[in-house]
Amino acid sequence: MSELLSAWQIADGVRAKRFSAREVLDAALARIERQNPALNAFIAVYPEMARAQAEAVDAAIARGEDPGLLAGVPIGIKDLEPVKGMLFTEGSRAHEGRIADRDGVSVSRLKAAGAVVVGKTNTPEFGYKGFTENQLWGPTRNPWDPTKTPGGSSGGSSSAVAAGMVPLCSASDGGGSIRIPASLTGCYGIKPTAGRIPRASIHAPTWGPFSTMGPMARTVRDSARYLDVTVGPHPDDLDALDSTGHAFEAAVLAEPPRLKRVAYSEDLGYAAVDPEVISVTRAAAAALAEALGAELVEAGPGFPDPMPWWLTIAASGDTRLVDAMTPEQRDRLEPGFRNFSEYGRAITALQVAEALEQRHQVNRTMTAFFGKYDLLLTPTTATTAFVAEGPPPSSIAGKSVGPAGFIPFTYPFNFTGHPAASLPAGLSASGLPIGLQAVAPRYADALLLQVSAAYEASRPWGYPD
């Protein structure tokens, strides 16, 4: 098992008895032991717990049972979601040493499908920023260049997948936290339509409409299988969508769609973007359109930068999160997160109501836009990966930008809830990955996966040695 297989290949091979879940796990643990010290993708690994899971999968197969679609697949879980018996720190010293007493909804569904949870992956404190570094665990590093960040907040997951420690990890995305690290490490990262995977009790309440659970994967098919396992309503999630009629892996394996018109916007009308990023993503957009038989048109939706409205809703939720802590916990928060949460303290109810109204207005703009175009393509991030410890660049293409200036393309589609994915577009002159973002109409997750698979087939991507 020295070769790293895709998640679907592992599961199908284990179910067919071509190799055992224990063999797959032992190979993954060896890769983690070899690579993780330099990258800090995993903050904790649990070999004995994982071996018990793998042995249960092998025992089920020996009894003639089917353990599930992810049988024997070793997987990392982002440390914003609980796994019973494992650390659950959320990247914060406020929760240092905390052990989860239950599985999160996604984790329980992944385990039920035969996935083997090997450990927890690193995240910035409460996932509040777009690169992965915190005072508890330190920075996670990019396998393409360990001096650089893998992005965030699912940076531990992206680093583990890009390095080949495991083929699949959990992730979540409230402002780009799946797509940003996928872009900076050359993975495939899809944020499904908001509510597709239930969040239940995870994280601050007002992040619910924004933050979507999802996979970090090496292939589109692996992502589709992950979604097949994890989507569907849950009674504790008021925003969860029904899963009736969805078969995402089957959609990926079907004949690719033939689209008519695909739009590409290099800046959404307001972003500062590195010229090299524009050049690489424009070429990738042309290749994607060609693979789908579509006309590529330079066009954008025309909405204003929604960052102020996004920030109003997100920060107010984290203010409440902090207020629920003990004084001792608040004293252990990072200054950056404390400042982010304090921003929300001055926000009025009227401002929140206005931000919620603007969310509907921007969504209506996108509905009209998708009446003309089948897809929207943009760069995923405005720059390539920067130094692992941060901070993000303060200027891009000669223009001053704020801390979120490198992610102007991702948070708009958390604001609206549209499904969006980052596909590997190519490498910069310095050898760093650049991502192409594809955005589909609301609820068109299957279409987005089909488009991604067609692009993947036309432009196969690789990973660092």
Cross-strand bridge partners of residue 150: none
**360-393: b (≥16 Cβ within 10 Å) or e:** eebbeebeebbeebbbbbbbbbbbbbbebebebb
Q: Residue 240 in contact with residue 194, Cβ under 8 Å? A: no
Q: Residue 95 in contact with residue 137, Cβ under 8 Å? A: no
Of 153, 159, 172, 183, catalytic:
153
Of 6, 172, 177, 422, catalytic:
177
Backbone angles phi, psi at 300, to 5 degrees: -130, 165
DSSP letter (8 states) at residue 145:
B
Q: Residue 195 in contact with residue 238, Cβ under 8 Å? A: no
* Size of the chain, expressed as the number of residues it contains: 465
**422-436: b (≥16 Cβ within 10 Å) or e:** bbbbbbbeeebbbbb
CA 75 to chain centre: 14
The angle formed by the CA atoms of residues 301, 306 and 309, to the nearest 5 degrees, is 145
Interatomic CA distance for residues 459 and 291, integer angstroms: 9
DSSP letter (8 states) at residue 351:
H
Task: Name the residue among 189, 166, 218, 193 with its Cα closest to residue 24.
Answer: 166
Element (H, E) at 212: strand 212-217
Is 78 tagged catalytic?
Answer: yes
Residue for token pair 């500062």: 272
Is 458 tagged catalytic?
Answer: no
Cα dist. 35→271, 306, 462 in Å?
36, 39, 18
Residue for token pair 């393509």: 377
Is 177 tagged catalytic?
Answer: yes
Q: Residue 179 in contact with residue 439, Cβ under 8 Å? A: no
Which residues are within 8 A (CB) of 256 and not within 5 positions of it... i.e. 6 or more apart?
291, 292, 450, 451, 453, 454, 457
Q: Residue 99 in contact with residue 79, Cβ under 8 Å? A: no
Of 78, 111, 120, 191, catalytic:
78
List, by residue number, the catalytic residues.
78, 153, 177
